[in-house]
Chain A
Amino acid sequence: MPLGRLAAWLMIAPALILLFGVFVLPIGWFLVGSLAELGTLSEIWTEAQDVLFSGTVARVLVNTNVIGLIVTLLVLVIGYPVSYALSRAKGFAFTAILLCIVLPYFTSTIVRTYAWMVLLGRSGLINQILLGLGLVDAPLELMYNRTGVIIGMTYVLLPYMVLTLYAAMKAVDPRLLQAAEGMGASPVAVFLKVFMPLTLHGVIAGVLITFILAIGFFVTPALMGGPRDIMIAMLIEREVELTQNWASAAMMTIVLLAVTLILYGFYSRFAEKEAPR
């Protein structure tokens, strides 16, 4: 059904107005307003160099990227087989796997994070079991350090990867896999030479979306991390809430936004590209 261009614009107008009013405008206001206080452009640039290349911010940026990379890798390694199972499952098994992945997301992030704290704490369930079985002598430090942040974030980000990969895997024609087998390919060869290349675009899209989301994380590292696991979003919040330094918050926001947009540019290219035909 061909829609007139005007009709199409009218239909998305409410959403556009809402997004502009509650999202673009405040952010623009915040960024421009905060930076304008500093004076001229050259003064802003000098200040920006001071803020962004200061030890703290540089360290937090490195932290953010390292945590983001580790989490993305873990999510990929865990998510790929899950997605594969999901893409081959039918009926009840499909529903069961999907519910296991999606259901926890009907509760709020905070509740889920606290649930992890119950599990991972010094006297939490996991440590009690490990101690009870005699596998460890002292409780493991699973929280308030990088381990905690990584576990928590991996869990939260898993569905994004699984659902992205699922879409790519579902698009693979099973007859191609059967054909490969018929032509003499071992199961390993079928996977490496046919299945993986055909789902690669999904892997790239999944990795990018996971990493984009990971570097902007706030709640999980704030609640489950230690003092050395500060990520950029936490630092931005701290600048605003504690030191009221809106200008440096704005600068870090711009850095985060720029990185996100660049990665998103790549992402949209891979996400739009369907399985090679």
Chain B
Amino acid sequence: MSGSVDLESVTKRYGTETVVADVSLAIPQGEFFTLLGPSGSGKTTTLSMLAGFVVPDEGRVMLGGRDMTRVPPRSRGLGMVFQNYAIFPHLNVAENVAFPLTVKGAPKPEIKARTADALAMVKLTGFETRYARQLSGGQQQRVALARAIVGHPKVVLMDEPLGALDKNLRYHMQVEIKEIQQRLGMTVIYVTHDQEEALTMSDRIAIMDHGRIAQMGPPREVYENPDTSFVAAFLGEANLLKVRRDGDAVNGPGGARVVARGSLTSSEGLAFVRPEKVSVTAGTVETAPNHLPGQILHASFLGNIVRYAVTAAEGATLLCDVANGAGTEIHRPGDTVTLSWRAEDSRLLAG
């Protein structure tokens, strides 16, 4: 069995509410695939259908090319990391990690060897006889990870595995999970609501909204080139300027000419540009496309960057991130500035 994962037009309803609506995914073996979305977007239900805890009302779940839609979770041969780790409190670390092999009735020497391997991989050698209550959050997370990979599954499902960890530890675990995934060549389906995590780890991201996939693609593509204002706003900070069609041209706040990729589908829409793509220049410069005069409302010094909130005409407020490079001068609130960006970095979206 290969580690490919496919969902074919999968739909799940609870009562009158459609939680997952006609979702199709084709994930090749070895891909790190992330389902990203706010809570209630259907990402966890989608994962539950892959795991077999939830049976879809319509559509098929294919694992390694085989229809597994109605196969119970225990027969799907998946590795799983649960949101709350789900470490058995009555078993020690080694017994926890060995659990998937023990219930399968694997021979004792094999269980021992594989458990030791898995523990070594998550750097928990020496913790075999400890219990969950004697471990830190990060160590518990490692136990859960070791248990998910101990049976060498082709596919591992992870449901917000790092949600309970502090930021620093999270970053370390992200790197480690990614490393293990690449070393073992396994397919990982990863659920998170943390966009930074999704961008860092994934080969591809599916952004979910109201049970549907809003956009799917490699991290940079969905970040730089969002199809909708929802995706733009959900993946990091985004400036979404109200724009109107004016003949062949598009005008922004105060009638400023806006040039961007894409086109407006109606007379009004939004121009999307990321804060870090916006340049801030002191004073007023000549009017040109994608040049917007404004006033600094607020300047936040974030260390490596300075984030400005700038008010432009018609009450529009833009965020601009400026790298705190050598000799950077920081503008003060009230300063008159001009914002500008390249047409390639901007995109017209439906309102």
Contacts and interface: CB of A to CB of B under 8 A. Distances in A.
Interface stretch (B24-32, B100-108, B265-273): B100-108
B63 interface: no
B90 A186 contact: no
A276 B131 CA distance: 10
Given A178-B53, A277-B133, A183 B89 contact: no
Nearest to B157: A182
| Of B72, B74, B75, B77, most A-chain CB atoms within 10 Å | B74
A184 B74 contact: yes
Contact of A183 (B84, B100, B133): B100
Interface in A235-262: none
A175 B86 contact: yes
Contacts of B133: 277
A181 B53 CA distance: 9
A179 B82 contact: yes
Contacts of B82: 175, 179, 182
B102 A193 contact: yes
B132 interface: yes
A205 to B, nearest CB: 16
Nearest to B147: A183
Contacts of A189: 103
A193 B95 CA distance: 11
A276 B86 contact: no
A184 to B, nearest CB: 5
Contacts of B80: 179, 182-183
A198 B87 CA distance: 12
B99 A183 contact: yes
A198 B89 contact: yes
| Of A181, A197, A198, most B-chain CB atoms within 10 Å | A181
B284 to A, nearest CB: 60
Interface string A142-153: 000000000000
B74 A186 contact: yes
A62 interface: no
Contacts, number: 62
B61 to A, nearest CB: 14
A193 B103 contact: yes
A275 interface: yes
Contacts of A173: 84, 86
| Chain A interface residue number, banded | 20 to 34
B5 interface: no
B51 A182 contact: yes
A185 B74 CA distance: 6
Given A197-B90, A276-B90, A175 B103 contact: no
Nearest to B86: A179
Contacts of B104: 184
Nearest to B80: A182
A194 interface: yes
A181 B102 CA distance: 13
Nearest to A185: B103
A182 B84 contact: no
A108 B99 CA distance: 50
Given A181-B73, A182-B52, A198-B88, 15 more contacts: A175-B82, A179-B80, A179-B82, A179-B86, A180-B103, A182-B78, A183-B74, A183-B100, A183-B103, A184-B75, A184-B77, A184-B151, A185-B103, A189-B103, A193-B103
Interface of B: 51-53, 72-75, 77-78, 80, 82, 84, 86, 88-90, 99-100, 102-104, 131-133, 147, 151
Interface of A: 173, 175-176, 178-186, 189, 193-194, 197-198, 275-277
25 contacts: A175-B84, A176-B88, A178-B53, A178-B86, A179-B80, A179-B86, A180-B99, A181-B53, A181-B73, A182-B51, A182-B53, A182-B73, A182-B80, A184-B74, A184-B75, A184-B104, A184-B151, A185-B74, A185-B103, A189-B103, A193-B102, A193-B103, A198-B89, A275-B89, A277-B133
Nearest 7 A/B pairs, CB to CB: A179-B86, A185-B103, A183-B100, A197-B90, A276-B89, A182-B73, A182-B80
